[in-house]
Amino acid sequence: MERTLVLVKPDGVQRGLIGEVIARLERRGLRLVAAKFMQVSREFAETHYAIHKGKPFYDGLISYIISAPVMAMVWEGPNAVAAVRQTMGATRPTEAAPGSIRHDFALEVGRNLTHASDTVENGEKEVALWFKQEELVDWKREVDRWVFEK
Ligand code: DAT
Ligand code: MG
């Protein structure tokens, strides 16, 4: 089953939107695999966002992600990566589809509330970076057969 890393970033935590994000992912039918509320260190933030090093927004991005705690989660389901990216909306909130989280709750790219893995490969890498194998819960829901075709 495809897995993706989701972060409710510091602005989402400060604004009391953890529950909103979780509710939308649950409602979509995705299955929660792991969750932890944590303060990210600068070093860890630099590892997570290594791909953006050297970009003009990099320093601001690092200070943003370590400015308050984050809620880190792993969600799974068929096409979980694409489904979660769609539920979050485009990186720039003013380009995010109506009904998406970034559209409904955000205005600025530097305060866009959430992170979600952008490819299946990066999903696997990010899940492994943020969570130990034993923190990932393998479980089934009674409702799974009504949400997942296979
Ligand atoms: P996403 O978070 O949608 O995967 P990304 O990986 O391209 O977007 O960038 C990571 C984060 O960096 C993004 O959520 C917000 C910030 N960011 C991206 N582009 C930016 C820009 N042009 N100006 C300011 N912040 C930016
Ligand atoms: Mg990204």
- Please tell me which residue in 48, 52, 103, 115 is annotated as part of the active site: 115
Give the pLDDT band (50/70/90) at residue 11. Answer: very high
Determine the distance separating the centroid of ligand 2 and the alpha carbon of 147, expressed in angstroms: 27
How crowded is residue 21: how many other Cβ atoms within 10 Å of its Cβ?
24
Once rounded to an integer, what is the mean pLDDT over residues 57-82? 98
Q: How far apart are CA 88 and CA 96, in angstroms?
A: 8
Q: Return the ligand 1 atom nearest residue 110 CA.
A: 25
Ordered by start, the domain boundaries in the chain are 2-139
Determine the distance separating the centroid of ligand 1 and the alpha carbon of 79, expressed in angstroms: 22
How crowded is residue 4: how many other Cβ atoms within 10 Å of its Cβ?
30
What CATH class does 2-139 carry? alpha beta
DSSP string of 83-130? HHHHHH--SSGGGSPTTSHHHHH---GGG--EEE-SSHHHHHHHHHHH
Nearest CA to ligand 1 atom 16: 110
Give the pLDDT band (50/70/90) at residue 73. Answer: very high
Once rounded to an integer, what is the mean pLDDT over residues 29-43? 98
